[in-house]
Structures are given as C-alpha cells and as structure tokens.
Amino acid sequence: MKPSSSSNQKAVLTVLPEQTGMRLDIFLTSQLSDFSRTQIQTLIRGGNVVPKFKVKAIKVGLEVSGGQSYEVTIPASAKTDIPAQALSLDVVFEDANLIVINKPVGLVVHPGAGNPDQTLMNALVAHCPKIVGVGGVRRPGLVHRLDKDTSGLLVVAKTDIAYKSLVKQLKTRKLNREY
C-alpha cells in the first residue's frame, strides 16, 4: 500500500501476540512503513481504519491485542488544484526521487493569498507532473520553503518515500538548513 495511488487501496492487518499493548497508530505505522504516523492518525480519525471486532470507539491511542484485525482503507490521492505553468527553473540536481532548485529572490514558493499562480509550485507541477499528491495536495513534494525575498536551494521530493525520509531527516536534524 502506498500513500499516493489513483484508486482506493484496502488491507486487513492482524496484530501478532508480540505486538499486544502497542498503540493502534504505532502498530499501523509498523505495518505500513511508507506512511508517517501523522498520515496513519489522519486515516484513523477519518474513519479509514475499521476494527474487525466490537469496540466502543476507535482512537489513535487504542491499545491493540494479539489476534485483533483492522481493515485499513487508503483513499485515492486527491489531485492538486495547482495548475501547471512552464516557468524557468534553475535545477541544481535532479534524480528519480528528488529535485533541488536554486530559488531566486522574488519567486513565491506556493500559491496563496495574492499569489494564485506563477509560483515555484506551478513550475514544479509542469516540470514533474508525477509530483502531484506527493506529501499532500496543497504543497506537493515540498519538504521546506523559503520566503519570497529569500534566495537559496530548495529540496523537493518527487516520491512519497523520498518525502517521508526528507521530512524525518529535517525533524531529527540529520538534514539541516543553513542560512
């Protein structure tokens, strides 16, 4: 199961005896390694995780027990509403997993109030159409951002695995920003 797919995905996951006592969100994250814990919590809260046994209420912190099964539905990825616009990009590095852009001063990174288009995100959606849905629909692939009046290198993930890895590296400070 992958975070980005054009159709719904379903799986039934069963808790092993040695996993008894784990929180539901942690159990599911251990089974669905392509998903972050936050993504799993969103699935649980959104009703996309259904226990195959009677329970009063399902919550992220529910303690699981061996033998319990949960049906997990991963909804099809929503398409971004960011229109593709062929704008000039200063690509410093690119491979199948990520792209590094040298962002100039004055370029807005993503659409927002007062800047509905002509942004780096518009250019990236045109340059890498498969980026749509990676890490979210509002800012596909965007691992970090730079202000409009700041220039510098910007890392953008092209796959869900790269996105998850880069976000984790930033969070644990294995990847850092220098100003």
From the candidates 117, 147, 149, 160, which is the catalytic residue? 147
Which has the closest alpha carbon to 125: 139, 145, 144, 107?
139
Which has the closest alpha carbon to 107: 87, 130, 125?
87
What pLDDT was estimated at residue 54? 92
Share of the chain above pLDDT 90, in %: 44
Task: Give residue 91's pLDDT band: very low, low, confident or very high (50, 70, 90).
Answer: very high
| Contact yes or no for 100/93 (Cβ under 8 A) | yes
* DSSP string across 102-115: EEPTT--SS-BTTB
CA distance to 69, 111, 161, per residue, from 129 (Å):
37, 17, 17
Instruction: Read off the pTM.
Output: 0.60
| Contact yes or no for 109/151 (Cβ under 8 A) | no
| Contact yes or no for 170/145 (Cβ under 8 A) | no
Residue with the bigger pLDDT between 149 and 80: it is 149
Dist. CA 70–CA 14, nearest whole Å: 6
| pLDDT for residue 5 is more than 70 | no
| pLDDT for residue 9 is more than 90 | no
Residue with the bigger pLDDT between 104 and 79: it is 104
CA 54 to chain centre: 31
Find the helix packing angle between 37-45 and 24-31, rounded to 10°. 120
Question: The tokens of 16 are what?
Answer: 């092993």
Per residue in 110-164, pLDDT (tens digit) is 888 888 889 888 899 899 988 877 776 567 788 888 888 899 999 999 988 888 8
State yes or no: is 25 an active-site residue: no
Task: Give residue 77's pLDDT band: very low, low, confident or very high (50, 70, 90).
Answer: low
Question: The tokens of 80 are what?
Answer: 């971004």
Task: Give residue 2's pLDDT band: very low, low, confident or very high (50, 70, 90).
Answer: low
Query: For residue 112, which phi and psi values (nearest 5 degrees)?
Result: -170, -170
Q: Which residues pair with 72 in a beta bridge?
A: 11, 49
Query: For residue 149, which phi and psi values (nearest 5 degrees)?
Result: -90, 20
State how beta strands 69-74 and 49-51 pair: antiparallel
Instruction: Identify the structural domains of the chain with CATH numbers, from first to last.
Output: 9-74 (3.10.290.10), 91-171 (3.30.2350.10)
